[in-house]
Amino acid sequence: MELLFTIILVIASALMILLVLLHKGRGGGLSDMFGGGVSSSLGGSSVVERNLDRLTVGIGVIWFACVIALGLLMAY
């Protein structure tokens, strides 16, 4: 059981890294420092951005559940 949660955790971690890197910079951070602030903002979230947000939150919940499950399995 621990092996299953560990595999899911590794996959979820890799997906979280990928999804966070796909997000558009909101400004004021490191993306502006390296020229990311030059892009124009069209004033609203597109469907793709909203779906990316939902997918990121979903993978984050799975990641968090795996961390809790592994912690409980290793404690007992």
Burial class (CB in 10 A: 0-12, 13-18, 19+), 66: buried
* 5 is a domain residue: yes
Any idea which residue has 């890197």 for tokens? 21
Query: CA-to-CA distance for 62 and 13, rounded, in angstroms?
Result: 10
Q: What is the pLDDT of residues 49-70, one digit of tens each?
A: 899 999 999 999 999 999 999 9
* 53 is a domain residue: yes
Q: What is the pLDDT of residues 1-39, one digit of tens each?
A: 999 999 999 999 999 999 999 887 766 555 555 655 555
Domain count, the chain: 1
* 8 is a domain residue: yes
* 42 is a domain residue: no
For residue 42, give both structure tokens.
Answer: 């069209």
- The residue range of the domain holding 14 is 1-21+47-76
